[in-house]
Amino acid sequence: MRWLALLLLLASPAAARDAALRSGEHSGFTRVVVEDPGLEQWQLRRSADGYILRITPGDVRFDLRRIYDKIRRNRLAAISPDPETGNLNLRLGCRCHARAQEIRPGVLVIDLTDGPPPADSPFEIAYQPDPVPAVADVTPAPQPPVPPPVYDYNWREPKPPAPAAELPLEDPALSLMRQSLLEQLSRGAAAGAVEIAPSVPPPEADSIETPGSLPQVRIGETPGFAPQTSERPPDQLTGSGVDCIADDRLDLGSWGTDSSVAESISTVTGGLTGEFDRPDPEAVRRAVRYALHLGFGAEAQQILRSFAVEDAERPLWEALAAILDGEAGAPEVLRGMATCDTAAALWAVLANPASGDPPQVAAIQRAFSALPPHLRRHLGPRLAQIFLDSGDIATARGLRDAIARAPGAPGPQVAIMQAKLEIAEGDAEAGEQALTILAAEAGPAGPEALLAMAEQQISAGAEVSPQTVTALAALLKENRGAADERRIESAHRRALAASGEIDAAFALLAPGAEDALLWQMLADRGGDGSLLSLAVLPEDAALPDLPVAVRRKIATRLSDLGLAPAAARWLGPAGSEADQLLAARVALKQKDGQAALQSLGDLGSAEAAALRGQAALQLGDMATAATAFGEAGDSLGQLRASRRAEDWLAIARTDDEAWKAAAGLLAPEQDPALPVASPDAAAGTTEPAGPLARGRAVLAGSAAAREALAALLQQVPAAAP
């Protein structure tokens, strides 16, 4: 009967259930995950400012407390439940669209993706609320008439009072147990681990309970089963919904022993096989983990290959071994783990720094500080370089401090990391000095210091000494076929160019290979001879894939050298005003004024106006040229264009006195602003009526014209024969 009562209680209407929401930022889309174990049906529809999510059955409490922990508001501007309908409103802040799918029962994934939606997307259908019947349409159900109560009170025959109802008393222990069972079963139902029957089936007739069919209750948690999905700590899932690797599975510090390595190595690696030379899984597990604790990745992989044992942790051990040995790759077991709030973030960043996932910096620093000192010194420089490359100097500094707290000498690799950190913080002189000292020392850190010093000088645009170039050439010869061969080869080639030997540096490029930095050095500091031999390409040669700024610089230099056709080949699509101006200058060098005007378009800057004036001169449109030069503020160019256009009225209005006087003589009509041409006009007298007076006026005007033309001839130099 107690189990029957329990099931009846569970079958009663439940209170509002909770739905947890998580989010993650990805390249090109933002993901929102809704975890509702009671989810049966869902609908995502378009609204005026975004989307509306309707969940059935309703009465859901959406937990939005951590929705913006990992994402910005550029795509999901706001999210809130509707107080009336209970639906979830998603307001967009971008030109994007939503896609949704239920990846497993009770887990709904909504992706807000950049760009327009597909034409057949079902999620673009406008949201339609449930119709609400009007008040006039609601007809109350007929109720049968209720007879009035019968009055049968007789004061002469008073009735005894009815006995008080006896409330059933319940055992307090039983009540607590029932409440505990209800809570646990509710959590199990919310996690999808328990299904609640809508009704209790009737007992079968003549059912006889056998010992094997008696109810069984397990005390404690079932191994490997955790129904508290909704109570999972934050940041324990990747962006794709995969469980993060727990800290205890990556606790390399606890995989060691209290004895020295010399004493422990034989003990740990002994007894790997048992009877009939069969591998002992526990012994192999202990040996692999001890090798990883020491930082011996190759040894750990050798043990795994030599003793084929099945272990669920094998993929993780192989990934850790590859990371410890610096092998490139992105192991599947660590994919997406950079966002986890566990030690998995540390190893995921080391495995694949270019994954694009935003790293959980706090978890990385915490896991790094928990590593043994020798692993901190081994992995710290590589990890710090990853953060320096991404511009996160503060995290790199924190890693440096975690190494400094460890007892013992930090070693030369940490000294190189310190020098790189000083350069990143702005003290390039101190950093380069430290690298120079380390590069001159013998030892395994010397080559790395030499490379770091050369790379710093190249990136700073400094000249690399011939001694450094020679040392890099020797280092390249020693490391042919090694993992760092391509890095050393690139550093040697660029150092050769930085020392002034650009032609020799280009000669080291393999056929079909490209080096954008080498082309940039040619554009910035290469001589004219090198530019002519390397940048003037044959007609059938393909242009290298270079940044726009580098191609623009090469085209500018070739145009300045008078090689307009060669410069035109380096011009790409006009993506900015600078590209349009450069294209116009190159077209003018090619005497193609029409192409120059097309390149300028409707640009309104002073430089564009000056180029438009030069193009108009090439096309013979002197009036347009004069107007363009005037807009550019080039008064001399405007005057020259007006002279060639014979626009004497415009010339007469200029500030050049000699040309102003001469133009006044040739103007077809006098303008009040023009200079006078005769003394009588200057005196304000009228034209004389007599022939003698008119003659004198003609002679005076002729003398004034001679004076104006003489002044103009003195100012304008004679043309060369």
Domain spans in the chain, listed from the N-terminal domain onward: 16-129
Q: What is the pLDDT of residue 546?
A: 81
Give me the torsion for CA of 628, 634, 638, 639, rounded to 10°.
180
Radius of gyration, alpha carbons of the chain: 44
- For residue 242, give the 3-state DSSP assignment: coil
Sorting pLDDT into bands at 50, 70 and 90, what band is 669? very low
Q: What is the pLDDT of residue 719?
A: 44
Q: Region of 314 please: left (phi>0), alpha (psi -120 to 50) or beta.
A: alpha
Please state, in angstroms and rounded to a whole number, the distance separating the CA atoms of residues 349 and 712: 78
CA distance 145 to 158: 31
Q: What's the confidence (pLDDT) of residue 97?
A: 93
Give bridge partners of residue 339 from the DSSP assignment: none
* Structure tokens, 79: 């999210």
Least confident of 393-397, 501-505, 608-612, 614-618: 614-618
Task: Judge whether 590 and 565 are in contact, CB under 8 Å.
Answer: yes
Q: Quote the CA–CA distance of 576 and 116 in Å, as a whole number.
A: 26
| Range 554-578 average pLDDT | 76
Helix 344-351 vs helix 373-389: crossing angle, to nearest 10 = 60
Give CA separation, 270 vs 286, 300, 301, in Å. 10, 14, 17
Q: What are 145-201's pLDDT values in tens digits?
A: 666 665 566 666 666 666 655 555 556 667 777 777 777 776 666 555 566 666 666
Q: What was the pLDDT predicted at 50?
A: 93
- Of 354-363, 364-373, 434-443, highest mean pLDDT: 364-373
* pLDDT, mean of residues 559-575: 75
Condensed to tens digits (0 to 9), the pLDDT of residues 480-496 reads 888 778 888 888 888 88
pLDDT band for position 463 (50/70/90)? Answer: confident
CA 353 to chain centre: 13
> 88 pLDDT band (50/70/90 cuts)?
very high
pLDDT confidence of 124, banded at 50, 70, 90? very high
Instruction: Say which residue, 72 or 680, is predicted with more confidence.
Output: 72
What CA–CA distance (Å, rounded) separates 719 from 666?
A: 22
Q: Are 508 and 491 in contact (CB under 8 A)?
A: no
| Residue-level pLDDT at 231 | 47
Q: Residue 342, class by beta-carbon neighbours within 10 Å (0-12 exposed, 13-18 middle, 19+ buried)?
A: buried
Question: Hey, what are 243's tokens?
Answer: 């469980």
DSSP annotation of 115? S
Q: How far apart are CA 380 and CA 367, in angstroms?
A: 12
- 417 near 400, Cβ under 8 Å? yes
Highest mean pLDDT among 111-115, 141-145, 188-192, 209-213: 111-115
What pLDDT, on the 0 to 100 scale, is given for residue 213? 46
pLDDT of residue 715: 63
Of residues 378, 375, 324, the one with CA closest to residue 351? 324
248 pLDDT band, cuts 50/70/90, is confident
What is the average per-residue pLDDT within 569-596?
A: 75
Residue 571: predicted pLDDT: 77
CATH code 2.60.40.10 for 16-129: no
Q: How confident is the model at residue 698 (pLDDT cuts 50, 70, 90)?
A: low
CA distance 256 to 372: 9
CA–CA gap between residue 607 and residue 151 (Å, rounded): 109
What percentage of the chain reaches a pLDDT higher than 70?
71
524-563 tens-digit pLDDT? 888 888 888 888 888 777 778 888 788 888 888 888 787 7
Sheet holding 41-46: strands in order across? Answer: 41-46, 50-56, 88-92, 76-81
Contact 11, 200 (CB under 8 A): yes
- With tokens 């033309």, the residue in question is 709
Q: Tell which wins on pLDDT, 406 or 86.
A: 86
Instruction: Work out the average pLDDT over 355-381.
Output: 87
Q: What is the dihedral sign for C-alpha 518, 524, 526, 529? A: positive
CA distance 582 to 600: 9
Counting residues of the chain whose pLDDT is more than 90, the rounded percentage is: 5
| pLDDT at residue 223 greater than cutoff 50 | no
Sorting pLDDT into bands at 50, 70 and 90, what band is 206? low
Query: What was the pLDDT predicted at 721?
Result: 40
DSSP bridge pairs for 551: none
Task: Name the range with the highest mean pLDDT among 118-127, 306-315, 566-575, 604-613.
Answer: 118-127
- Contacts of residue 673, defined as CB under 8 A and 6 or more positions apart, other chains included, come to 652, 653
- Long-range CB pairs of 606-609 (<8 Å, 24+ gap) are 606/631, 606/632, 606/633, 607/581, 607/632, 608/577, 608/580, 608/581, 608/584
Q: What is the dihedral of CA 324, 329, 331, 337, to 10 degrees?
A: 80
Average model confidence (pLDDT) for the chain? 76
- Over residues 555-582, mean pLDDT: 76
pLDDT at 626: 74
323-350 per-position pLDDT tens digit: 888 886 778 888 888 889 888 899 988 8
Average pLDDT over residues 585-601: 76
